[in-house]
Structure 1
């Protein structure tokens, strides 16, 4: 059975970069009728916060990315300790004591000599007595996995055939000196024991994948299928890293972005398929193929979400937005005609309030000096209420016959006088909702 996972760290809010990973893994699992696991990577007790765990769940639920089960790495520390012991027994795990400054000096020396800046494995030559002395002086060391210096190869679902020389990579640190288990081993143990078959993540993890493949094999596990998606950039190709705080999903939600608009964009962005607004999750699942994504950095512009949001809202019946219409202050008996009028003229649901204020309170008329007599004559011809969808046509016909005006010179001054705007909804649907005019009628 196909099993995928999304493994966020609860050290902040999910942003659009995280969503890309979550969505791809979710769609793969759902398309195959498999299992999607939400795995909280909370092995860092200092930075992990419960409020972020709750926020991750809220964001996932808002988007409709429902998980089949949830796991927490902080509850699986004994499994990682067991794997670490197994690696020690195999001679693939060793303790190292260099300080960050010492490691930096080693890297600089290697670079100056034209060599790759990888860890030199000096710790492997330490005697037991030397290790004891270093522990007494510096505390516990870090634990590194000893890579086999051979080529690590796999067929990547997005990048194609990958081949990395393990000798060009430092032996990865799997456990810190303070005992904290790092992602590299925790993820391997979890993926193996949870039967994860497919892993999609950012291309910045390619080197991690190479080292994890050797760890998986050392522990006797089966390697999942890996795919590494491109990283997002800003609309001009600039790095998103400094802007991710403003691209948190909760911020986009606050700005009125609709889930289906966001999902439709992210399910196609960076692929060979055009971005198309989908009506529901089933359409997204059916049309998804991870192999159609490319390796080139992918431009993301938050502004692209708003036309998609507007288009999505236009397709919704009143029942789907009734709460938002009520929150805007629209009386229940006017909700249906109000939504019919407003749906074509909003970008987000937050715009509803402005349209209801126009309907309820009217607007400052825009009347050119040359139109004042015309407007006065037109208002005198306004039929008695109540108004309906036919009123605008009946009224403008009478005004045309009385004044001789037609076309734009007839309709535009009337629109501007009634709404204070040059553009907007069809006046036939707006006029019956203008409360000030209704009262006059």
Structure 2
């Protein structure tokens, strides 16, 4: 059995069921139901899976077909039957070092945050997954520790108090700094989800929503939802939301309550649901645009389809580079009218800066350090840009996302 079952069963019960014979006696075959990748229309020739669940939590088992030995049970994992739905880009697949049929997915969220999440159906649908593609998926967090967090705290000494005193002196003539003896800091809006040193583990702060008690064959616990990102977003993308499972043995006596601010540690799990075309994904019908695009390049896009589609090609290619981790801007060498913006993009990552010329639909690119071959075509109410995976510049820049569609007009421009 996979060690993550400790999160569901607790240490004592996990140790008692660590032998597969004991495990199958505790969860007899009559309880199991077929369960498999939502990406498949037909069962896998090599693997099949099943699950047993109660109150929305359960165990998934992976069975491998062997010509010589028949059906072999490879592993058992905890699972949340229905996680929090989201859309994500698959960046890479990560195989488990200990169990070859187990693994994780490296995902890019709508706010361009990379998350690595364990996939209980990894082996079954691995042949169907394509890095760079977009998927609907469900995310859940299996909690190993949970504790309440104060909604505010007081600071009675230190730099922050001194800063507040100085600000009050500037704002209020005659203010005596000694009159300010403390500063109250509110945690009410605090949300976070930070990777730990251990792969697939995260520390989190969230507010408990939709809390309900659960039970899994004698093990009691709770299920709740919560956002783990702030509500503020320049591109108006909703914050990431997770469904949390926490069993009684992980709370050290703390009983969660609706609306409470809590912190803890959790193991992230994902279920891949459906492959999506670019249209309809989080990046297609609103700007995936970089915060680094200058107003001149945005204004140039209003010029339409001149220069073989260059204006939308510049905009959408800039978004692709941004989505792949590059900070983009108009080249500093250009200072002409906005309607004549050349097919040039400056890309920066850390101390590395490249000037990239775009060869749009076969047109002659401007001479510069790197040339990127871009195909830009009108598709419906917008334009679609595609890059060539074999392009040397694509390889050099380590670009994974190679295509994007954006609607024409003001809706494709960044907010603000």
Greater Cα radius of gyration, structure 1 or 2: 1
- Give the structure with the larger strand fraction: 2
Shared fold by TM > 0.5?
Answer: no
Q: TM tier, shorter chain?
A: under 0.3
- Give the structure with the larger helix fraction: 1
With the length of structure 2 as denominator, give the TM-score of the two structures.
0.23
